[in-house]
């Protein structure tokens, strides 16, 4: 619906890739609906994935012993985080929906995207115990993981050699997004695009565009362990 804000966090090196096309389709389709869409193109931004002392621009809370979690939490409260983090947090704050678009690397997200999670979702901004899971600080937001795999659908089936794809989603969807209070829409998975015909890849893009047309009517998945491990 018009006025909705979407942030696409995108991690692929090649714009001509299927991931690049999936990102482009999302921008086009959601913009057509009147949503305002922002893209964080992590490789193009040369986003820093490492969580270091450089993320705090002023004095440390404890200069004797460096604790990243404590230091970024304190820095967040006093406005002392580095500008690249503040910039990403602002985009997250404004977004109604976060779409993560990436190729699956080693059953997880690429390091540059994991680094985005590590650095951007600071305590005090995204969660603050006991305010986590259903009371996480980013509640009222939606997230969707859209990714490509190397392995086929059969390999990621329940009982398949790679394990049910839902096991892979548990740390990302539950351990990160749900922990921060974000509600999660069903993932969008393009299985083994490198091993299918050009025709099939086009169908993958059409299916994604179709899904986006009615995305706002979707109900989030059930955020319990049952969804992942039943």
* pLDDT (0 to 100) of residue 223: 87
Return the bridge partners of 7, or none: 38, 98
The pLDDT, as a whole number, for residue 28 is 98
pLDDT at 97: 98
Tokens representing 110 are 């690429």
Distance CA 56, CA 62 (A): 12
> In angstroms, rounded to a whole number, what is the distance separating the alpha carbons of residues 201 and 216?
25
CA distance 55 to 83: 8
CA distance 174 to 52: 25
Which helix or strand (DSSP H or E) is residue 143 part of? Answer: strand 142-148
pLDDT at 184: 98
Could you say which DSSP state residue 150 is in? S
Domains of the chain in sequence order: 5-229 (3.40.50.360)
| pLDDT tens-place values along the chain, 230 residues long | 779 999 999 999 999 999 999 999 999 999 999 999 999 999 999 999 999 999 999 999 999 999 999 999 999 999 999 999 999 999 999 999 999 999 999 999 999 999 999 999 999 999 999 999 999 999 999 999 999 999 999 899 988 998 899 999 999 999 999 999 999 999 999 999 999 999 999 999 999 999 999 999 999 999 899 999 98
User: SS3 of 180, please?
Assistant: helix
If one counts every other C-beta atom within 10 angstroms of the C-beta of residue 51, the result is 15
Instruction: Return d(Cα 36, Cα 57) in angstroms, integer.
Output: 31
**Percentages (nearest 5) of helix, strand, coil residues in the chain:** 40, 15, 40
pTM over 0.95: yes
Mark 155-189 as b/e (b = at least 16 C-beta within 10 Å). ebeeeeebebbbebbeebbbebbbbbbbbbbebbb
Q: Which residues fall within 8 angstroms of residue 56, CB to CB, at 6 or more apart?
A: 71, 72, 75, 80, 81, 82
């Amino acid at each position: 619906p018009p006025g909705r804000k979407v942030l696409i966090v995108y991690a692929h090196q090649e714009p001509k890739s299927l991931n690049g096309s999936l990102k482009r389709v999302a921008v086009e389709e959601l913009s057509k609906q009147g949503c305002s869409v922002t893209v964080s193109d992590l490789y193009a931004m040369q986003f820093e994935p490492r969580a270091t002392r450089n993320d705090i621009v002023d004095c440390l809370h404890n200069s004797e012993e460096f604790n990243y979690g404590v230091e970024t939490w304190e820095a967040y409260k006093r406005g002392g985080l580095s500008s690249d983090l503040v910039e990403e947090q602002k985009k997250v704050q404004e977004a109604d929906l976060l779409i993560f678009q990436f190729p699956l690397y080693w059953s997880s997200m690429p390091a540059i995207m994991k680094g985005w999670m590590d650095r951007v979702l600071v305590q005090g901004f995204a969660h603050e115990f006991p305010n986590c899971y259903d009371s996480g600080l980013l509640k009222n937001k939606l997230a969707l993981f859209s990714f490509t795999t190397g392995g086929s659908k059969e390999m990621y089936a329940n009982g398949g050699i790679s394990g049910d794809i839902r096991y892979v989603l548990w740390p990302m969807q539950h351990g990160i997004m749900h922990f921060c209070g974000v509600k999660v829409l069903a993932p969008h998975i393009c299985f083994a695009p490198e091993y299918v015909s050009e025709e099939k890849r086009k169908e993958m893009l059409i299916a994604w565009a179709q899904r986006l047309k009615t995305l706002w009517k979707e109900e989030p998945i059930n955020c319990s362990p049952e969804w992942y491990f039943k």
